[in-house]
Amino acid sequence: MTPLRCEHESGVSRAVRTGFWPSALEHHAESCPACSETRAVTAALLEDSSRMNAANRPPDAAHVWLEARRRARLHLRNRAAFWFRALRALTCVYVPALLVWSLLHRALHPPVSWKLSFHTDFAPLLTGSAETFAVTGALLAALCIAMGSWYLLREARTPMQHSPSR
């Protein structure tokens, strides 16, 4: 079986794609078996291609950009929430531990007289390991607050609208 070839096949294919048919080429395509087959195959491929393009439209670029910005802001918000949840967990551990320790410490060493002075009231509580415990809790709380606030500030500065490139 010998394949059918014609020198006008590329012209017929171009005419099918563009819709511009010179009369001589149109008459030739009707009479030549190779060109009529090229015409039918090209038309079928164009139809399939247009159907595939209609079914698989890429999303709008602005929508993709907005979705990316939304996800970036959500990520920053989740990071901030992590630090605030850590602060809540530290509070749930440190406050009861400090209260229990201070009640036990106060019960063992009752104050001689009540004086309205920070140094007199709290100095015996914050000695040795208690001081380290309190300072560590305060530093961890400050770290959680600072990190959570930093992520929230970054999230607030993330623009939601697309700025055109310059």
Q: Is residue 71 domain-resident? A: yes
Q: Is residue 29 domain-resident? A: yes
Which letter does DSSP use for residue 39 in this model? H
Q: Is residue 162 domain-resident? A: no
- Shared-domain flag, residues 27 and 74: no
Q: Is residue 86 domain-resident? A: yes
Could you tell me the residue range of the domain that residue 65 belongs to? 61-157
Amino acid at 146: A
**pLDDT, tens digit, for every residue of 91-135?**
788 778 777 776 776 655 555 554 455 445 555 556 666 677 777
- Shared-domain flag, residues 92 and 146: yes
Q: Is residue 105 domain-resident? A: yes
- pLDDT for the residue numbered 21: 86
- pLDDT for the residue numbered 1: 36
Structure tokens at 86: 């850590």
In contact, 80 and 155? CB cutoff 8 Å: yes
Residue among 33, 42, 40, 43 at smallest CA distance from 6: 33
**pLDDT, tens digit, for every residue of 7-49?**
888 899 899 888 888 888 888 888 888 888 999 999 999 898 8
- Shared-domain flag, residues 20 and 85: no
How far, rounded to the nearest angstrom, does the alpha carbon of residue 73 sit from its chain's CA centroid? 7
- Shared-domain flag, residues 74 and 92: yes
- pTM score, two decimals? 0.41
The CA distance from 23 to 15, in Å, is 11
Q: Is residue 165 domain-resident? A: no
List the single range of 26-30, 79-83, 103-107, 144-148 with lowest mean pLDDT. Answer: 103-107
Structure tokens at 112: 């001689």
Q: What are the residues whose beta carbons fall under 8 Å from the beta carbon of 141, sequence distance 6 or more?
A: 87, 90, 91, 94
The CA distance from 48 to 46, in Å, is 5
In this prediction, residues 50-60 reach a mean pLDDT of 80
Residue among 90, 61, 64 at smallest CA distance from 148: 90
